[in-house]
């Protein structure tokens, strides 16, 4: 169940700092934040197209979620929903969304995306 969901307009002031490809510090403004019944929180980004800046923002969001989890003892996760995948799979709820889409995780080799399909 989805007890809390919010669109994050820039006016809310929630941003994640990242370094762009020419080493400038930038602010990334995620699209949504979600809290599930199990207490897990999700930072949700929706994307129509990708470029190098998107990969840098993904890395920053993953890092932010890892640090927030450590500091708050509340699990934070990041998910990027690509428009083409959403249109193809059409999940009916958030649980299907997180099962079906690219859930980005950080490992020793850098950013890795896994795609899991529901049954």
What pLDDT, in 10s, does the model give residues 54-83?
889 999 999 999 999 999 999 999 988 888
What mean pLDDT is predicted for residues 3-10?
Answer: 84
Tokens of 118: 């529901």
DSSP the chain: ---EEEE--GGG---EEEE-TTS-EEEE--SEEEE-TTS-EEEEEEESS--HHHHHHHHHHHHHHHHHHHHHSS-EEEEEEEHHHHHHH--SSHHHHHHHSEEEEEETTEEEEEE----
Host domain of residue 18: 4-115
What mean pLDDT is predicted for residues 1-30?
Answer: 88
Per-residue confidence (pLDDT) for residue 85, from 0 to 100: 76
Number of domains in the chain: 1
Per-residue confidence (pLDDT) for residue 67, from 0 to 100: 95
pLDDT of 109 > 80? The answer is no
- pTM for the model stands at 0.78
Longest distance between any two alpha carbons in the chain, whole Å: 43
């Amino acid at each position: 169940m989805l007890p809390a969901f919010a669109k994050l307009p820039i006016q809310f002031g929630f941003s994640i700092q990242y370094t762009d490809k020419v080493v400038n510090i930038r602010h990334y403004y995620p699209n949504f934040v979600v809290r599930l019944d199990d207490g897990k929180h999700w930072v949700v980004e929706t994307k129509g197209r990708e470029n190098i800046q998107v990969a840098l923002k993904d890395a920053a969001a993953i890092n932010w979620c890892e640090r927030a989890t450590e500091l708050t003892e509340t699990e934070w996760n990041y998910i990027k929903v690509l428009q083409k995948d959403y249109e193809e799979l059409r999940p009916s709820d958030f649980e299907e969304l997180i099962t079906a889409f690219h859930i980005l995780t950080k490992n020793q080799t850098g950013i890795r995306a896994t795609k899991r399909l529901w049954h």
